[in-house]
A and B are shown apart, each in its own frame.
Chain A
Amino acid sequence: MTTTSSVPAYGRFGGFGGRYVPEALIPALEQLEEVWRKAVVDPEFVGELDRLHRTYTGRPSIITEVPRFAEHCGGARVILKREDLNHTGSHKINNVLGQALLTKRMGKTRVIAETGAGQHGVATATAAALLGLECVVYMGRKDTERQALNVARMRLLGATVVPVDNGSKTLKDAVNEAFRDWVANVATTHYVLGTVTGPHPFPEMVRDFHRIIGVEARQQVLDLVGRLPDAVLACVGGGSNAIGIFHRFIDDRSVRLIGFEAGGEGVASGKHAARFSAGIPGVLHGAFTYVMQDDDGQTVESHSVSAGLDYPSVGPEHAHLLESGRAEYRPVTDDEAMEAFSLLSRTEGILPAIESAHALAGAMKVGRELGRDAVLLVNLSGRGDKDVHTAAEWFGLIGDDGSPRLPDDDGAKGMGEQQ
């Protein structure tokens, strides 16, 4: 398995990617690739997607400079790309609208999706409602509990949510279950994969649907500061928001691309999702990429306070960007992410998704390294509404029974009391 050849093989990024799935799915992947490649050069498809971006999602998403937060980032200028302001509250909608339109073009009537934080499931349920498709979302039992609000949202949108009790009961197991559904129902069903991994053409296709993030942001930063940023920062679960904002900058060699993985309780603890710190190249969910695995090739369970980053593998293009040296990846712990969550909320009045808070914590470190002259562009991939319960528990704002704990209650250590 060569990872250095200059001419990538079909469906690969360097040596990473490929199509490691049961033969039964190959015709569907071939059909998807054909329909997708035709659609993206068809003015009707391009026009329809563009119309939905403008009139439904609310694109272009704005950028916001955050000077009070930046004081905690070594004084560097920090600019947020506001994917949190998209309809449904995250970047996920960019990909889902593209795939939902392709589902129609393929003549399929049913979509399935996996979800971790629930954002991709909500986006898929939304697109299904908009386009009149049947929708089933697989979600690990543990995630249905920590993202209960999003489960209700999906059901209100008309989707069926299936809790998955296998394995670690998180995102990885939801993906397994979605693949099992897909093998059985592929004639009528499209699997709306929610990130830039899986078998070819998903990593490339999902990236292209998210590329708009970086295309917009690059121009917006040029307009605001008159030059390119020194670094572009994003959190990396499967890697879709990161590749979406990175991709337009790949040829801008002066711009550092930095991805932040879930460091959980610390890489040394083993309880994390830092694939690039502790993973080894292997195959999971159809792609050859970095995988957290043991000596026997069994997947190791990941851990993160953030459901959307709690995944033991990562998109193959990120593996290639790492090996080629074009991008860097660093772990951010639960504690660091929650501190950044609290800081952005209190200094700027923006509640970030806990996933995105990993990128904000990254900005605090990178800003201190680069100093006052630096310009950092951070992808704020989602909003924190879905995380209010988790954050309230984390900061002791509610008791075990969910009732509020006020400052004079014994043991409360609310966000307000932290600093």
Chain B
Amino acid sequence: MSVATIIEKCRADNRAALIGYLPVGFPSVEGSIAAMKVLVESGVDIVEIGVPYSDPVMDGPVIQDAAVRALAAGVHLTDIFTAAREVSAAGAGALVMTYWNPVLRYGVERFAADLAAAGGSGLITPDLIPDEGRDWIAAADAHDLDKVFLVAPSSTPERLEAVTAQCRGFVYATAVMGVTGARATVGEAADALVSRTREHTDLPVCVGVGVSTGDQAAEVGRYADGVIVGSALVRCLTEAQSEAQGLEALGALARELADGVRRSRS
């Protein structure tokens, strides 16, 4: 099922959707899935299931650290199928976010088939632009999967037109020029980018990179269809003294963010 349906429902409730990122495999495969379920119980509408990758050029130190530790703990690509199954069974949208090489290595068509079979909604591809994504676009269309490509503050009107034309599910607007990680302020670039993106598409536009607090979620939720939070959630787990304490901190932050998107338009 496309995550657009979930975002539509949130829109009907007059609020932005809350999208939470966690990498599979940190602190363990089971531990990460338990954490994803905590997100869902705490009000996250869509879980972005991250594939830990050895060379994550779009990620800042927090997500890099989690990826390194997940890989050292022995996570495998196929673990995301387990996570997707559990997240969708828990009632949330399951979108996988991955750098391109792991999918290429697995086989694009085979990956799409296995993801669809696991109940995954589709992929967010931070280093695959639609221009290079012909195989993925074909496989996603064949298996009824979402294709979430990114736009950035630097995107020209021509790029916004070309990229949004290939998206399904939503368009991922990166709020700032830079890698993932919490920022003190999300800034005006995000608002402007969302407006510019809407000139080219009727798809939902969700904003990510830099959001870490309930107040920021409320601010972004005023103009975006979805608020994406990554590093701040991951940090709850990487900095925890124990798994139980990590899950507790994670739940508290997720509830704060969920409250943020609920109060933003009232």
Q: Which residues of A does B touch, CB under 8 Å?
A: 1, 18-28, 166-167, 172, 176, 179-180, 183-187, 280, 282-286, 291, 293, 295-299
Q: In the complex, are the beta carbons of A183 and B179 less than 8 A apart?
A: yes
Q: In the complex, are the beta carbons of A293 and B105 less than 8 A apart?
A: yes
Q: In the complex, are the beta carbons of B57 and A180 less than 8 A apart?
A: yes
Q: In the complex, are the beta carbons of B106 and A297 less than 8 A apart?
A: yes
Q: In the complex, are the beta carbons of A176 and B57 less than 8 A apart?
A: yes
Question: What are 27 A-B pairs with beta-carbon distances under 8 A?
Answer: A20-B128, A20-B129, A22-B58, A22-B174, A23-B129, A23-B152, A23-B159, A23-B174, A24-B150, A24-B155, A24-B177, A26-B154, A27-B159, A179-B57, A180-B58, A180-B60, A180-B178, A183-B57, A186-B177, A283-B100, A283-B101, A284-B101, A285-B55, A293-B101, A296-B76, A297-B104, A299-B54
Q: In the complex, are the beta carbons of A22 and B126 less than 8 A apart?
A: yes
- List 4 tightest A-B contacts by C-beta distance, closest first: A297-B105, A24-B152, A297-B102, A184-B178
How far is B53's CA from A298's CA once the two chains are assembled, in angstroms?
Answer: 6
Q: In the complex, are the beta carbons of A23 and B55 less than 8 A apart?
A: no
Taking the closest CB of chain B, its distance from the CB of A266, in whole angstroms, is 23
What 1/0 flags go to B67-110 for Cβ under 8 Å of A? 01001000011000000000000000000000011111110000
Q: If the complex has contacts A280-B105, A283-B100, are A20 and B177 also in contact, measured as CB distance less than 8 A?
A: no
Check: B132 CB closer than 8 A to any chain A CB. yes
Which residues does chain B contribute within 8 Å of A27, judged by CB atoms? Answer: 154-156, 159
Residue of B nearest to A299 (CB): B54
Which residues does chain B contribute within 8 Å of A186, judged by CB atoms? Answer: 154, 177
How far is B104's CA from A282's CA once the two chains are assembled, in angstroms?
Answer: 7
How far is B127's CA from A231's CA once the two chains are assembled, in angstroms?
Answer: 39
Residue of A nearest to B151 (CB): A23
Residue of A nearest to B179 (CB): A180
Check: B149 CB closer than 8 A to any chain A CB. yes
How far is B132's CA from A23's CA once the two chains are assembled, in angstroms?
Answer: 11
Which residues does chain B contribute within 8 Å of A296, judged by CB atoms? Answer: 76-77, 102, 105-106
Q: If the complex has contacts A282-B101, A283-B104, are A184 and B151 also in contact, measured as CB distance less than 8 A?
A: no
How far is B103's CA from A374's CA once the two chains are assembled, in angstroms?
Answer: 46
Q: If the complex has contacts A166-B64, A298-B54, are A22 and B152 also in contact, measured as CB distance less than 8 A?
A: yes
How far is B129's CA from A24's CA once the two chains are assembled, in angstroms?
Answer: 10
Which residues does chain A contribute within 8 Å of B179, judged by CB atoms? Answer: 180, 183-184
Residue from B54, B131, B135 in contact with A167 in the complex, judged by beta carbons closer than 8 Å: B54
Which residues does chain B contribute within 8 Å of A291, judged by CB atoms? Answer: 101
A21-B57, A27-B155, A296-B76 are known; give 8 further A-B pairs, CB within 8 A.
Answer: A22-B152, A23-B151, A176-B56, A284-B55, A296-B77, A297-B53, A298-B71, A299-B101
Which residues does chain B contribute within 8 Å of A23, judged by CB atoms? Answer: 129, 149-152, 155, 159, 163, 174
How far is B159's CA from A21's CA once the two chains are assembled, in angstroms?
Answer: 14
Residue in B54, B58, B77, B178 with the greatest tally of chain A CB atoms within 10 Å: B54
Q: If the complex has contacts A22-B150, A166-B64, A180-B57, are A295 and B132 also in contact, measured as CB distance less than 8 A?
A: no
Residue in B53, B100, B101, B163 with the greatest tally of chain A CB atoms within 10 Å: B101
Which residues does chain B contribute within 8 Å of A180, judged by CB atoms? Answer: 57-58, 60, 178-179
Taking the closest CB of chain A, its distance from the CB of B137, in whole angstroms, is 13
Q: If the complex has contacts A282-B101, A284-B101, A297-B105, are A20 and B127 also in contact, measured as CB distance less than 8 A?
A: yes
Q: If the complex has contacts A172-B55, A283-B104, A297-B77, are A187 and B177 also in contact, measured as CB distance less than 8 A?
A: yes
How far is B169's CA from A178's CA once the two chains are assembled, in angstroms?
Answer: 32
Q: In the complex, are the beta carbons of A298 and B102 less than 8 A apart?
A: yes
Q: In the complex, are the beta carbons of A295 and B55 less than 8 A apart?
A: no
Tell me the residues in window 164-182 of chain B with beta carbons closer than 8 Å to chain A beta carbons. Answer: 174, 177-179
Taking the closest CB of chain B, its distance from the CB of A37, in whole angstroms, is 18
Which residues does chain B contribute within 8 Å of A298, judged by CB atoms? Answer: 53-54, 71, 102
Tell me the residues in window 114-155 of chain B with beta carbons closer than 8 Å to chain A beta carbons. Answer: 126-129, 131-132, 135, 149-155
Taking the closest CB of chain B, its distance from the CB of A3, in whole angstroms, is 13
Q: In the complex, are the beta carbons of B55 and A299 less than 8 A apart?
A: yes
Which residues does chain B contribute within 8 Å of A282, judged by CB atoms? Answer: 101, 104-105
Taking the closest CB of chain B, its distance from the CB of A275, in whole angstroms, is 14
How far is B159's CA from A28's CA once the two chains are assembled, in angstroms?
Answer: 12
How far is B174's CA from A201's CA once the two chains are assembled, in angstroms?
Answer: 24
Which residues does chain A contribute within 8 Å of B103, judged by CB atoms? Answer: 297
Residue in B56, B104, B155 with the greatest tally of chain A CB atoms within 10 Å: B104
Which residues does chain B contribute within 8 Å of A26, judged by CB atoms? Answer: 129, 154-155, 159
Which residues does chain B contribute within 8 Å of A280, judged by CB atoms? Answer: 105
Taking the closest CB of chain A, its distance from the CB of B238, in whole angstroms, is 15
Taking the closest CB of chain B, its distance from the CB of A311, in whole angstroms, is 12
How far is B174's CA from A296's CA once the two chains are assembled, in angstroms?
Answer: 27
Residue in B132, B149, B159 with the greatest tally of chain A CB atoms within 10 Å: B132
Which residues does chain A contribute within 8 Å of B101, judged by CB atoms? Answer: 282-284, 291, 293, 297, 299
How far is B214's CA from A360's CA once the two chains are assembled, in angstroms?
Answer: 62
Taking the closest CB of chain B, its distance from the CB of A179, in whole angstroms, is 4
Q: In the complex, are the beta carbons of A19 and B132 less than 8 A apart?
A: yes
How far is B99's CA from A291's CA once the two chains are assembled, in angstroms?
Answer: 15
Taking the closest CB of chain A, its distance from the CB of B199, in whole angstroms, is 17
Q: In the complex, are the beta carbons of B174 and A167 less than 8 A apart?
A: no
Residue of B nearest to A24 (CB): B152
Q: In the complex, are the beta carbons of B53 and A184 less than 8 A apart?
A: no
Taking the closest CB of chain B, its distance from the CB of A372, in whole angstroms, is 47
Which residues does chain B contribute within 8 Å of A184, judged by CB atoms? Answer: 177-179
How far is B58's CA from A295's CA once the two chains are assembled, in angstroms?
Answer: 22
Which residues does chain B contribute within 8 Å of A179, judged by CB atoms? Answer: 57
Q: In the complex, are the beta carbons of A19 and B131 less than 8 A apart?
A: yes
Taking the closest CB of chain B, its distance from the CB of A106, in whole angstroms, is 14
Residue in A18, A22, A23 with the greatest tally of chain B CB atoms within 10 Å: A23
Q: In the complex, are the beta carbons of B154 and A167 less than 8 A apart?
A: no
How far is B154's CA from A159's CA once the two chains are assembled, in angstroms?
Answer: 27
Residue in A26, A166, A291 with the greatest tally of chain B CB atoms within 10 Å: A26
How far is B135's CA from A95's CA once the two chains are assembled, in angstroms?
Answer: 34
